[in-house]
Amino acid sequence: AALARLVAEAAAEAVASSGRFTLGLSGGSMVPLLARELPPALRAVPGSDPSRWLVAFCDERLVPPEHPESTGGAYRVS
């Protein structure tokens, strides 16, 4: 929950100052953690507007999104 709150607060600050927030995401245990904790954190932090985010998957493998080892795919189904 603390990590999700930190992300939401950083997003709100970045959106307010530059109009966008850039976030690099890794896979693994981070996927279920953020899928569970980030939505409530975003609701609690005004201005964290996910439509203003640029998200990059840092450890994305060269596999299709539907492949079990796809980081992007893991976030899409979570």
User: In the chain, where are the structural domains located?
Assistant: 1-77
Distance between CA 78 and CA 71 in Å, rounded?
11
The pTM (predicted TM-score) of the whole model is: 0.81
Check whether 11 has a pLDDT greater than 90. Answer: yes
Average pLDDT, the chain: 90
Distance between CA 27 and CA 51 in Å, rounded?
21
| Cβ within 8 Å of residue 20, ≥6 positions away | 14, 52, 53, 54
- pLDDT grade for 60, boundaries at 50, 70 and 90: low
Strand partners, 25: 57
Q: Provide the token pair at 33.
A: 């953690």
Q: How far is CA 13 from CA 6, 7, 35, 36, in A?
A: 11, 10, 21, 22
